[in-house]
A and B are shown apart, each in its own frame.
Chain A
Amino acid sequence: MSETTHDSDAQIAYGRTEWDDYHHLPTNTGLTNEKVTMWAFLGSDCLLFGALISTYLLLRNRVGPSTTGPTAADLFDIPFTSVSSFVLLMSSLTMVLAVTSIQRAEMERCKLWLLTTAGLGSIFIAGQVYEFTSFYREGLGFTTNISSSAFFTLTGFHGVHVSLGIVMLVTMWALVSGGQLGPERAETIEIIGLYWHFVDIVWIVIFAVVYLIP
């Protein structure tokens, strides 16, 4: 009863008379604020990674006036990183399958694909931890030289994004499992999916520009 009163008050306050199917206020654009906000965030995140990639390219071959040591490019293990890239690419497929599953109200499949996506993301992160560790053992730390700082900052920021994505995926899995997220809120999974695909496309750029282009 109180919820109904609250809803009516909100409708009056916003000058609206109808709610959409997902209990959002209608918007002028017809698009939900949550989805617009996620796209705006992803657009702004392009700037962050644009700056980090630019910085790395500027400094990739420079070790500084008083520091020595190898650059990251000297230690790349391309076959290993290729497998990691493939794993992250395939996680985009499982993510989109999770979205289509919840849109069709196939909750068990949705949970399976969400966990699979989180698992593939975890494999990617494990690979990155292994890569960082092997670099460190070969004498390339964060402060070894200016090139290594740029490399670790770029790939580290991407790794943090993937890790946050895994947390969001596991949270979605828990909400779906607990019945708190159903087909009527499929857009929530779709929005998390947008974030996940974004970290994938950022890696597509990093893999080509940082690892493969000599």
Chain B
Amino acid sequence: MNTVAVSEEETHDEHQDHGLSDVGYIKIALLLAVLTAVEVATYFWDFGVLEVPSLLILMVVKFQIVVSYFMHLKFDSKVFTYIFVTGVILAMVVFAAMGTSMVFWQNPSGCDLSAYC
């Protein structure tokens, strides 16, 4: 009987090491819902110069929360983090490389080639 109790306790502790409780996940989801509501609020109210930076920050925070808690990267092996972050960094490099086309890849007349002007 004691063996079973210990076994269950170990299993419980092991589970705690690999994530949150159900209530914890619900709290995380509520936080994400609130952050989404703030995002949508920027559409209805004028946030001025803060609009784009606040949207980008909210996006990064939501991304981080889902990856860390729902995808368990916070609790899982660092190998998974390295693999995924490598992909994200490469995607940002692709974004930066394509972004340069709006600034640097111009014809002699100064017209942006991608604009069909």
Q: Most chain-A Cβ atoms within 10 A of its Cβ — which of B67, B71, B90, B101? A: B71
- A53 near B95 with CB under 8 A, answer yes
- A54 near B43 with CB under 8 A, answer no
Docked CA distance A208–B63 (Å): 11
Query: Which residue of the partner chain B has the closest CB to A61?
Result: B115
Provide the B11-34 mask, 1 if CB < 8 A to any CB of A, else 0: 000010001001001101100110
Provide the A27-69 mask, 1 if CB < 8 A to any CB of B, else 0: 0011100011001101111110111011101110010110000
- What size tier do the contact residues of chain B reach? 35 or more
Shortest C-beta distance, B117 to chain A (Å), equals 8
Please give, as numbers and ranges, the residues of chain A lying within 8 Å of B29 by CB-CB distance: 89-90, 92-93
- B56 near A78 with CB under 8 A, answer no
Docked CA distance A92–B25 (Å): 10
Query: Chain B at the A interface: mostly helix, strand, loop or mixed?
Result: helix
Please give, as numbers and ranges, the residues of chain A lying within 8 Å of B51 by CB-CB distance: 213-214
Q: Which of A91-132 contact B (CB under 8 A)?
A: 92-93, 95-97, 100, 103-104
Contact A36 to B83, CB < 8 A, known contacts A93-B26, A205-B59, A214-B51: yes
Query: Chain A at the B interface: mostly helix, strand, loop or mixed?
Result: helix
Q: Tell yes or no: A134 within 8 A of B by CB.
A: no
Please give, as numbers and ranges, the residues of chain A lying within 8 Å of B22 by CB-CB distance: 97, 100
Q: Tell yes or no: B7 within 8 A of A by CB.
A: no
Contact A36 to B79, CB < 8 A, known contacts A205-B59, A209-B59, A212-B39: yes
- B83 near A40 with CB under 8 A, answer yes
Shortest C-beta distance, B111 to chain A (Å), equals 12
Docked CA distance A194–B42 (Å): 30
Q: Tell yes or no: A86 within 8 A of B by CB.
A: yes
- A208 near B55 with CB under 8 A, answer yes
Docked CA distance A42–B66 (Å): 14
Docked CA distance A58–B39 (Å): 23
- B66 near A43 with CB under 8 A, answer no
Docked CA distance A205–B60 (Å): 8
Q: Tell yes or no: B2 within 8 A of A by CB.
A: no
- Given contacts A43-B90, A213-B56, 16 further A-B pairs with CB under 8 A are A42-B87, A51-B98, A57-B98, A62-B115, A82-B40, A89-B29, A89-B36, A90-B29, A92-B66, A96-B19, A96-B25, A100-B22, A197-B71, A201-B66, A201-B67, A214-B52
A contact residues vs B (CB 8 Å cutoff)? 29-31, 35-36, 39-40, 42-47, 49-51, 53-55, 57-59, 62, 64-65, 78-79, 82, 85-86, 89-90, 92-93, 95-97, 100, 103-104, 146, 190, 193-194, 197-198, 200-201, 204-205, 207-209, 212-214
18 contacts between A and B (CB under 8 A): A42-B84, A46-B88, A50-B94, A50-B95, A58-B99, A58-B102, A82-B40, A85-B36, A89-B36, A90-B33, A93-B26, A96-B19, A97-B25, A100-B22, A100-B25, A208-B56, A212-B55, A214-B51
- 8 A-B pairs with least C-beta separation: A43-B87, A50-B91, A46-B87, A208-B59, A93-B29, A54-B98, A65-B116, A46-B91
